[in-house]
Amino acid sequence: MHNVWPPIRHNKRQPPVMYHDTTSGFYGKGKLQAIQLFNRIKYLQDIPEIFNNPKSTYTDIERAGDRFIIALYSNTKKVA
């Protein structure tokens, strides 16, 4: 096992640089895949507006989220 702390720094006055992803993703799906889904399916393109609208009701947000998750995990490819 290797020691990873304390980090080796040339300038001890500088804090260590932390690189990490702070955005959650959906299980088995990448964030890029989710964004591409919005761009590909017109039925979903109003969802960001619903999420960002302070006047949206809980029901509006819940329905929009359900539509997105169903579309994300649905198998839309037809088998020939």
Block residue for tokens 């979903």: 44
> For the chain, what are the domain ranges?
29-74
CA 14 to chain centre: 31
- Residue 80 pLDDT > 50: no
Convert the pLDDT of each residue in 30-77 to its tens digit.
788 888 888 888 889 899 999 999 999 999 999 999 999 999 888 655
pLDDT band at 14 (very low <50, low <70, confident <90, very high): low
Compare 7 and 31 and report the one with higher pLDDT. 31
pLDDT of residue 70: 92
Helices 58-73 and 31-40 meet at what angle, rounded to 10? 100
Per-residue pLDDT at 79: 40
